[in-house]
Structure 1
Amino acid sequence: MMTTEEKQTVKNIITQEIDTLTTELQNIEKSLKPIKKDCSLDSIDHKMLKQDQNVNIQRFEETKKRLNRLKYALLQVDTKEYGICKECEEDIALERLKLIPESQYCVSCMNELGL
Structure 2
Amino acid sequence: MTLTTQQRNELRERMQREIDGLEESIARLEQGLNPVAPDAAIGRLSRLDTMLNQGINQSSLSQSRTRLVRLQHALKRIDDPDFGTCAECGEAIPIARLLALPECDCCVECAE
| CA deviation profile, 1:66-86 (whole Å, cap 9, x unmatched) | 000000000010002211111
What pairs up with 1:1-115 in 2 under 5 angstroms? 1-37=2-38, 38=40, 40-42=42-44, 44-111=45-112
Following the alignment from structure 1 to structure 2, what is the Cα–Cα distance between the partners of residues 19 and 39? 36
Q: Distance in 2 between matches of 1:20 and 1:101?
A: 15
Aligned-pair CA distance for 1:40: 4.3
RMSD: 1.2
Separation in structure 1 between the aligned mates of residue 95 and residue 33 of structure 2, nearest angstrom: 37
Structure 1 spans left out of the alignment, 5+ residues: none
Please state how far the C-alpha of 1:110 moved relative to its aligned partner. Answer: 1.1
* Gap change, CA 1:30 and 1:91, over 3 Å in 2: same
Segments ≥4 residues shifted beyond 6 Å: none
State the distance in 2 between where 1:79 and 1:109 align. 21
Distance 1:67 1:40, change over 3 A: closer
Equivalent pairs counted in the alignment come to 110
State percent identity of aligned pairs: 28
Give distance in 2, aligned partners of 1:31 and 1:64: 15
- Provide the C-alpha distance between the structure 1 equivalents of 2:79 and 2:72, rounded to a whole number of angstroms: 13
- TM-score, length-normalised on structure 1? 0.90
Q: 1:41 to 1:75 in 2, by over 3 A?
A: same
How many Å apart are 1:64 and its aligned residue? Answer: 0.6
